[in-house]
């Protein structure tokens, strides 16, 4: 049995144990400690090696680590400060810097048929041993590049969003938004998950639903079974916790339009149907493309206004939904007003399609109050 196969089997057992303990312990789960221990174990193993390990083994390590953080988060209460502890654990891991091999062993030097060439290459590597960095299969450095974090968290969200309970979905969104707001991943690519959340909540046809409706975990549930009200708390978490990042990424759309692949940043069906994704952006004169843009940000705001209007006409059953949506709109506009780019300028246009203006209410140090979202 190869070392990779053996390691994968051990990984599957460990992951199952982590999920079981998280489900059992709920908000009291200690996966943050388990994740810290795994990070320390990876460092210890790397430090004891005389050569760099197979990157495929480090891939498994990274997948296991992010798996523990994800399940620790979604089994933590949505309003718990313990989510911040999980975020800090990932930031702390990243700030360990790049792990470099302390010495050069025979396995770190590709073999050649000529001994003289082997000796020459060995001497060269020994002179530049500081460049022997531990990396995963895609070349990402341990720990500086937080390898596979974005790919794994994107996969976890996409795979679990529909089946999670309402509390788990909100906890997962809070955790990811806080992680993105802290700049955990290079180039803010973790914010691509915000695009997925907003596309599902605002750009996809769904029934209104009812805020606060109890939803337990259901492995058979699919995305088309979710209502707008089921997804808006997750969207609200992103627009509040990482709202400034979202505005700044929208402002920089022209320079970063290729940052997110189509399956992450592509336009939703309602947005495509409204203008087939080709309407000129009034803030730049450019056609709207995938990813963030001032035009898309304004479209989200208009869509929220439309949802609030529909919810207001639905009686008591949807009154709380209208309240949540108005709070989300207020937060978006208050955050945009604290910037000085195309989004704010679009919002200030006299012919702006959004007539609502937020009340002058700030929370904490100049931050907008979060929209209420029943758990």
> pLDDT means per 10 residues in the chain (375 residues)?
87 97 96 97 89 91 98 96 97 93 46 54 50 88 97 98 97 98 95 98 96 90 97 97 97 82 95 63 56 95 95 85 94 94 91 69 47 49
* DSSP labels, 138-169: TSPBTTTT-TTHHHHHHHHHHHHTTTS-HHHH
pLDDT in the model for residue 228 = 97
pLDDT in the model for residue 131 = 56
What value, to the nearest 5°, has the Cα angle with vertex 204 and ends 190 and 345? Answer: 65
Residue 346 lies in a domain: yes
Residue from 223, 123, 169 nearest 373 by CA: 169
C-alpha distances (whole Å) from 289 to each of 158, 163, 252, 276 are 22, 30, 13, 10
Query: Which two three-digit tokens encode residue 273?
Result: 């149907």
Residue 133 lies in a domain: no
Where b means 16+ CB within 10 Å and e means fewer, 274-284 reads beebeeebebe
Residue 55 lies in a domain: no
Query: Which two three-digit tokens encode residue 261?
Result: 């692949």
- Residue 17, class by beta-carbon neighbours within 10 Å (0-12 exposed, 13-18 middle, 19+ buried)? exposed
d(CA 80, CA 222): 27
Residue 248 lies in a domain: yes
Residue 220 lies in a domain: yes
In the chain, where does DSSP find H-type helix? Answer: 3-25, 31-48, 55-74, 82-94, 115-127, 149-160, 166-181, 192-202, 228-241, 243-251, 262-265, 269-275, 294-312, 316-336, 342-347
Number of domains in the chain: 1
Residue 46 lies in a domain: no
Which residues are paired to 362 by β-bridges? Answer: 368
Residue 151 lies in a domain: no
Which residues are paired to 334 by β-bridges? Answer: none
Residue from 174, 308, 301, 283 nearest 234 by CA: 174
Residue 271 lies in a domain: yes
Domain of residue 217 covers 187-375
């Amino acid at each position: 049995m190869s070392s990779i196969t053996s390691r994968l089997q051990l990984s599957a057992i460990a992951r199952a144990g982590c999920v079981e303990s998280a489900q059992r312990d709920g908000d009291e789960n200690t996966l943050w400690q388990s994740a810290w221990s795994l990070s320390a174990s990876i460092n210890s193993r790397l430090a004891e090696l005389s050569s760099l390990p197979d990157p495929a083994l480090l891939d498994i390590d990274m997948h296991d680590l992010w798996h523990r953080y994800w399940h620790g988060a979604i089994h933590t209460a949505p309003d718990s400060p313990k989510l911040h502890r999980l975020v800090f654990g990932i930031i702390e891991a990243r700030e360990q810097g790049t792990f470099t091999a302390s010495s050069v062993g025979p396995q770190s030097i590709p073999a050649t048929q000529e001994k003289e060439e082997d000796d020459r290459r060995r001497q060269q590597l020994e002179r530049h041993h500081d460049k022997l960095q531990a990396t995963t299969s895609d070349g990402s450095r341990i720990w500086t590049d937080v390898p596979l974090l974005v790919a794994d968290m994107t996969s976890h969200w996409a795979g679990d969003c529909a089946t999670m309970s309402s509390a788990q979905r909100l906890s997962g969104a809070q955790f990811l938004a806080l992680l993105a707001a802290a700049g955990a991943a290079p180039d803010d690519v973790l914010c691509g998950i915000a695009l997925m959340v907003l596309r599902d909540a605002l750009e996809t046809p769904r029934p209104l639903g009812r805020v606060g409706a109890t939803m337990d975990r259901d492995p058979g549930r699919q995305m088309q079974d979710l209502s707008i009200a089921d997804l808006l708390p997750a969207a609200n978490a992103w627009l509040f916790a990482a709202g400034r990042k979202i505005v700044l990424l929208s402002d920089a759309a022209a320079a970063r339009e290729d940052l997110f692949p189509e399956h992450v940043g592509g336009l939703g069906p309602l947005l495509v149907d409204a203008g087939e994704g080709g309407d000129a952006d009034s803030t730049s004169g450019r056609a709207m493309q995938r990813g963030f843009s001032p035009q898309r940000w304004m479209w989200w705001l208009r869509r929220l206004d439309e949802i609030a209007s529909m919810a207001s006409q639905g009686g008591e059953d949807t009154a709380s939904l209208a309240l949540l949506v108005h709070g989300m709109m207020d937060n978006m506009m208050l955050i945009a007003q604290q910037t000085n780019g195309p989004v704010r300028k679009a919002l200030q246009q006299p012919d702006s399609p959004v007539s609502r203006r937020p009340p002058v209410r700030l929370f904490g140090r100049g931050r907008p109050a979060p929209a209420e979202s029943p758990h």
